[in-house]
Amino acid sequence: MKILILSFYFQPDLCAGSFRCTALLESLCSKLDIDDKIEIITTMPNRYKSLRNPALTYQKQGIATIRRVDMPNHDSGFVDQALAFWKYWKEVKKLTKNQDYDLIYATSARFFTGYLGAKIANKLQKPLYLDIRDILSDNIKDVFKSKITKSILIPIITYIEKYTIESATHLNLVSEGFKNSFPYYKGEVTYFTNGIDDIFLENDYQGQHNNPKIITYAGNIGEGQGLEKIIPEAAKKLKGKYIFNIIGDGGAKKKLIKQLSHLQIDNVNLFDPVNPDKLIKHYQQSDFLFLHLNNYEAFKKVLPSKIFEYGASKKPILAGVSGYAQEFIKEHLENALIFQPCNVGNLMEVLESYQPQIVSRENFIKKFSRDIILDKMADGILALIPSKKLQLA
């Protein structure tokens, strides 16, 4: 039996998709036989231009073969990413030519990875397990300002999206906010979210009391986060009481730097992306962990992976989110301060009214351990293969 996994990101790259796919591989391998094979086609680390961890282009890992496609430098812009994906597409087509697989798994934070998986699955007439972590057609409606650009792109993207979704034998959505996005899909749907990696559960985060207090954000600095719309002005109003530490990189980092310079902000520290061990130290030294999504309609559906990482720390979370993310935090996370996205006044209100709490979050940690989530997800993937379905029954 042979499984093909398509994921644009894989460890040692640093992002949610990389961590998720790497952990899923481990779970699948633990359930397969020595004669089974898994082939992963991914990319060389390229999530952040400022941090590219070394990796092998070809790697054997037990029954798994990992092939990494080298990527051109890019600044996470739309055109840059399109060109990078085009190279990935060509290499995947070359590597899978004349190959046969019993199942294709594709994860679609990079939308066209899912489409590529659908094309291969349909050609081979084999089952496709599709993991949807983002919806490109929604994002385009909000992120692109040009009506002409949207009028051209949206019909094309919507057509490809429908083809991809309808090709799936099984559809997993990482956010229940996506539930009503594909009413035409008639197959089985699950909602396996992102989860907490073990490395974030093995540390003590308590006991930090800084003056001024430290608010830390870690992750992508892109259009989706809209940090330039909230942090510079908030930092100006909170000067003397709070310091912001921003750890990450992305296509909107220049916007953030420009706005900080314009307002002459000196209580915001910018750091390049760091590996998990250093990131944990930043979390330990923080008083609040910061999360923010831009005030776009599309982001009312998403569930940021950072919620799980932050939740494991038991630190108070300062979250500028709406829609499903807000519902999820209210239901599952104690000691979280929620404010309306891009609303500095509301952020100030929740900070001023905050009363320190001691929380355990044990139920959250137990329920959203990545190992537990992906173990169940792996069973669902293998159940699509007739021979494995009989063994699992």
For the cut 70, the answer to whether the pLDDT of residue 129 exceeds it is yes
Quote the pTM value.
0.92
The encoded tokens of residue 123 equal 């050609």
Q: Would you say residue 292 has pLDDT above 80? A: yes
- Packed helices 323-332 and 306-313: angle between N→C axes, nearest 10 degrees: 20
The C-alpha atoms of residue 51 and residue 59 are separated, in whole angstroms, by 21
HSE, CB side, 13 Å, CA atoms: give it for residue 314: 16
Say yes or no to pLDDT of 243 above 80. yes
Higher pLDDT among residues 251 and 348, named by residue: 348
Domains and CATH numbers, the chain: 2-195+369-392 (3.40.50.2000), 198-367 (3.40.50.2000)
11 pLDDT exceeds 60? yes
- The token duo for 249 is 């990189």
Highest mean pLDDT among 38-52, 79-93, 318-332: 318-332
Averaged over 165-188, what is the pLDDT? 96
Q: Specify the range with the lowest mean pLDDT, choosing from 94-108, 134-148, 271-285.
A: 134-148
Q: Enter the tokens of residue 310.
A: 């932050």
Measure the CA–CA gap between 172 and 178, rounded to whole angstroms: 10
- The answer to whether the beta carbons of residues 378 and 31 sit under 8 Å apart is yes
Tell me: pLDDT of 390 over 50: no
- Please answer whether residues 234 and 347 qualify as being in contact, where contact means their C-beta atoms are separated by less than 8 angstroms: yes
Q: Residue 209: what pLDDT?
A: 77
Report the chain's mean pLDDT, rounded to a whole number. 92
Bridge partners (DSSP) listed for residue 248:
219
CA dist 150 and 308 (Å) reads 33
pLDDT given at position 74: 57
309: left (phi over 0), alpha (psi -120 to 50) or beta: alpha
Residue that is written with structure tokens 């630190």 in the block = 315
SS3 106: strand
For residue 167, give the nearest of 185, 189, 190, 192 by alpha carbon.
185
CA pair distance 249, 49, nearest whole angstrom: 8
Of the CA atoms within 13 Å of residue 358, those in its CB half-sphere come to 2
How far apart are the C-alpha atoms of 238 and 78, rounded to whole Å? 34
Decide the pairing of beta strands 2-6 and 37-43: parallel
* Percentage of the chain lying above the pLDDT 70 cut: 95
Nearest to 22 by CA among 49, 1, 40, 3: 40
Q: What number of other Cβ atoms are within 10 A of residue 130's Cβ?
A: 26
pLDDT tens-digit series, residues 205-225 = 876 678 999 999 999 999 999
Asked if residue 182 has pLDDT above 80, the reply is yes
For 29-83, write each residue's pLDDT tens digit: 999 999 999 999 999 988 766 667 789 999 999 999 999 999 876 555 566 677 7
- The pLDDT of residue 346 is 98
Q: How far apart are the first and last CA of the chain?
A: 18
User: In angstroms, what is the C-alpha Rg of the chain?
Assistant: 21
| pLDDT exceeds cutoff 70 at 237 | yes
167: tokens are: 């090709």
Amino acid at 260: L
- pLDDT of residue 391 exceeding 70, the answer is no
Residue 339 host element (H or E): strand 336-339
